[in-house]
Amino acid sequence: MELATLLVSCADRRGIVAALAQLLSGHGANILDSDQHTDPLAQMFFQRIRFDLSELATDQGTLERALAEVAQRFHMTYRLWYFETPKRVALFVSKYEHCLYDLLLRQRAREFACEIPVIISNHPDLERAAREFGVEYVHIDKSAEYKGLAESREQALLEKHRIDLVVLARYMQIMSPEFTQRWEGRLINIHHSFLPAFIGGRPYHQAYERGVKLIGATAHYATAVLDEGPIIEQDVVRCTHRDSIEDLVRKGRDLEKVVLARAVRWHLDDRVLIYGNKTVVFD
């Protein structure tokens, strides 16, 4: 099988489902999965189609041109991805190793359809982990140099490695608005609280102070406004009066790992569509 995934969003109109189904079947593509959603309030249409093009009657170029035409007709935003081209992911980390190891182990276990050519960090501490997995590790010390310059170096690295997705895996630095804008929809962050509760710094301390009975973690696309971007995934775990702040941090690590991993996998599988400040996740 030669798999491809088509992700579509546009203003809702009649006939979109039929038009896309006809287009694909007309070119000999076989639809394997199709997931569709209409938001009646926003009057928006969303669809994810996974299809096999091993028996395509024409060729990829012809199919793409026909698709572009339909897209224009319906004013669609769309993304077409061929499965044979794995996405390329860069990880940003600081000193915490749990999310880094988790992502690297999942990639090695083939949970993720991606390559991870580079890890960028504002600290030298995790270089050893990178070496174990054979990934290039670049230390860019943001406290030592002008921030704009550091980001230029980061951007150059991302371009050099033809990166498709940036994952902030507990990276304790705030990116500039230019950076978040440039990587809009391709920049995933993990925040260690159940957003919108406990925005900002030291959320586990905030949770401890408030005396909540559950703590959470949130994976979201990073935007210019801290912790306010579109949420991809969230989860919680129970805590009690017996939990110290250290216990919350420990329980939280397990949450951060699984929540971030789910968000990354869904993004890599082209299951996530952004609209307004929300997401559609076809899981």
Residues making contact with its own copies (CB under 8 A): 14-15, 17-18, 21-22, 24-26, 30-41, 97-98, 101, 105, 109, 111, 132, 194-198, 210-214, 216, 230-236, 240-242, 244, 250, 253-254, 258, 276-281, 283
3-class DSSP state of 35: strand
Which residue intervals of the chain are DSSP H helices? 16-26, 60-73, 98-108, 127-132, 147-160, 177-182, 203-210, 245-268
Closest approach, Cβ 161 to its own copies, in A, equals: 25
- 207, 243 Cβ separation under 8 angstroms: no
Cis geometry, peptide bond prior to residue 196 (ω within 30 degrees of 0)? yes
- Which residue's CB is nearer to its own copies, number 115 or number 228? 228
Answer yes or no: are the C-beta atoms of 99 and 170 closer than 8 Å. yes
Residue 43 vs 176, nearer CB to its own copies:
43
CB of 254 to its own copies, least distance (A): 6
CB of 154 to its own copies, least distance (A): 27
- CB nearer to its own copies: pick between 157 and 258: 258
Catalytic residue among 227, 235, 247, 254: 227
The token duo for 79 is 């993304």
Neighbour count for residue 122 (Cβ, 10 Å): 20
Catalytic-residue membership of 227: yes
Instruction: Compute the least distance from the CB of residue 166 to its own copies, in Å.
Output: 21
* Catalytic center residues: 227
